[in-house]
Amino acid sequence: MKGPDVVWYLALAGFLFCTGALGVLIRRSPLIVLLSLEIMLNGANLALIAFSRHYAQGDGQIFALTVMAVAASEVVVGLGLIVAIARKNLDLDVDKLSTLRG
Amino acid sequence: MANVVVWAVWVVAAFACLGSGIAVVTFSNPFYSALSLIGNLASLAVLYLLLSAEFVAAAQVLVYAGAVMVMFLFVIGYLGSRADAPWAGGPSWQTVGAVLASAALFVEVIVVIGLKTSGRLSHQKPVDSVFGGPYDIGRLFLTDHLLAFEITSIVLLVAAVGGVVLGSHARETP
């Protein structure tokens, strides 16, 4: 059973990463910024697992699992912040949330 | 024959992955974006299975598509219509610049992959059936990568405490 080479997976991972970066840059809802961050993390995970399969060593999968745990923690803190912002009746818009400045 | 089937599954999963990724970015309703992200994570799990990373695929479905996305959908439902921030309502040069920047990033990635890996990454090493299973992952986590395992537990504990602190602080100051 011979599937696509690791290069195809790397191209797909690069495209996913750039899609997530585009979402982080152009969207203004912090919820969708978080969702796009998840896409970026998953692109990186796909590259790690593709190299792990290519070199037949499990260390890349360990790294990917650690990235998953960090992503889960990031979502917890990010959603907590968004809920706290919404309870103060502020606009959920990353361009308007600038009160920390100065 | 098996080769063709693997390629077909790969193409279907890759295009589902790309399409749902673009859908996450372009849907104006965050609820539909979160649903598209579930499709993205599921097709990524299929790709992980093709890379014989069975345990990571299972963890992807359980942790990401299960726990994390349920939390996302819960918060989107809790916020209701306030979650609908304007779609790229800023100046249009910002949108154009963002599209150009991410396209440039993609071109850079592809050029680097093409220059550095051409022909050198075509020979995959064979793996046995243990590779990527729970036994292999558990052995690596408890021998070579014990520090990462322990630090992950601390990170999760800190995140849980942070979530509780953020939630309770918001309740005290209405």
pLDDT tens-digit map of A15-58: 999 999 999 988 888 899 999 999 999 999 999 999 999 888 88
CB-closest option in B87, B99, B127 to A22: B99
How high is the pLDDT of residue B132?
84
Interchain CB contacts (distance < 8 Å): A and B:
254
CB-closest option in A30, A49, A84 to B53: A49
Gap between the Cα atoms of B148 and B140, Å rounded: 11
**Look-up of token digits 């220059």:** B115
Kind plus residue range of the DSSP H or E element containing A9: helix A6-26
| Partners of residue B47 in chain A, C-beta under 8 Å | 9, 12, 46
How high is the pLDDT of residue A101?
66
Reduce the DSSP state of residue A93 to 3 states and report it. Answer: coil
Cβ of B125 within 8 Å of Cβ of A56? The answer is yes
The ipTM value here is 0.90
CB contact at 8 A, A13 and B110: no
Handedness of CA A39, A20, A100, B76 (dihedral sign): negative
Determine how many CB atoms are found less than 10 A away from the CB of residue B121. Answer: 18
CB-closest option in A7, A27, A62 to B148: A62
Handedness of CA B73, B75, B79, B83 (dihedral sign): negative
- Chain segment A14-25, per-residue pLDDT in tens: 999 999 999 998
> Buried (b) or exposed (e) across A25-62, using 16+ Cβ within 10 A?
bbbbbbbbbbbbbbbbbbbbbbbbbbbbbbeeebebbb
pLDDT at B124 over 80: no
The mean pLDDT value of chain B amounts to 86
Gap between the Cα atoms of A13 and A10, Å rounded: 5
Cβ neighbourhood burial of B61 (10 Å; 0-12, 13-18, 19+): middle
- Å between A101 CA and nearest CA of chain B: 20
Nearest CA in chain A to B27: A32
**A90 contacts chain B (CB < 8 A):** no
Cβ of A79 within 8 Å of Cβ of B75? The answer is yes
* HSE, side-chain direction, 13 A CA sphere, residue A56: 8
**A72 contacts chain B (CB < 8 A):** yes
Would you give the DSSP letter of residue B88? S
How high is the pLDDT of residue A90?
77
